[in-house]
Amino acid sequence: MATNKSQHISQQFEKELQDIRSRVLAMGGLVEQQVSNAMEALVTGDAELARQVITDDEDVNKMDISIDEDCIQIIALRQPTASDLRLVTGILKTITDLERIGDEAVRIGRMALNLAEKDRPKKNYRELHALGQHVSGMLHNTLDAFARFDVDAALQVAHEDRQVDEEYEGIMRQLMTYMMEDPRTISRAIDMMWSARSLERIGDHSRNISQHIIYLVEGKDVRHLSAEKMEKVVKGNE
């Protein structure tokens, strides 16, 4: 009888963990849509879509709080084993980064509203669009890695972050040049800079999530390490 009760509790616990994982992915999907909508609003000048990005942030915040509360309850009541505890703490860290990605999408949405009222450049924000696509790809891939607990895919996301940083630095140099050559572009260029900064931060948070995945799967803390160092630690070469 005790064995059956123990098995029932174990099955219920596993169901709770699976439910939370599914909700994390649902939150990730909403955040991913926020980023996509924010970039479309910026590039097309769609003020209504930009406002929708800002409105959607309330739902992201509610999901963050709900998942956080359930994770804390699991830790308090279930006293999970080491591997399950890693999963729960990894989820807690992941939703924090997802919520912050949502915040960055809101910032881009606000910049999109500002830019919609200004003259559009000849290149139509092509550089920001390219960076946005790269960062959106990182976010999508890291969520896919989370869904599959795929360490190799998580490592690939970490490697992508360096290229995002290089693209971001290139955009900042270009915008500085525009402002020096034509002071009339300063207001628009500043909004573009803030948008580029938010995109770079989304890349950072996507990399962070990839590190959380490695921790919850492998039990190895790879925070503050370069992508190359992370790979060595995961492969057991260091």
Say which CATH number the domain at 61 has: 1.20.58.220
Q: pLDDT tens across 135-146, in order?
A: 999 999 999 999
Residues 34-43: tens digit of each pLDDT: 999 999 999 9
Joined together, the tokens standing for residue 17 give 């963990």
**Share in percent of the chain as helix, strand, coil (round to 5):** 90, 0, 10
Cα 16–65–29 angle (5° rounding)?
Answer: 75
Name the residue range of residue 193's domain.
2-235
Predicted confidence at residue 83, as pLDDT, reads 85
The count of domains in the chain is 1
Residue burial 74-107, b: 16+ Cβ < 10 Å; e: rest: beeebebeeebebbbbbbbbbbbbbbbbbbbbbb
Q: Taking the complete model, does pTM exceed 0.85, yes or no?
A: yes
What is the percent of the chain with per-residue pLDDT over 90, rounded to a whole number? Answer: 69
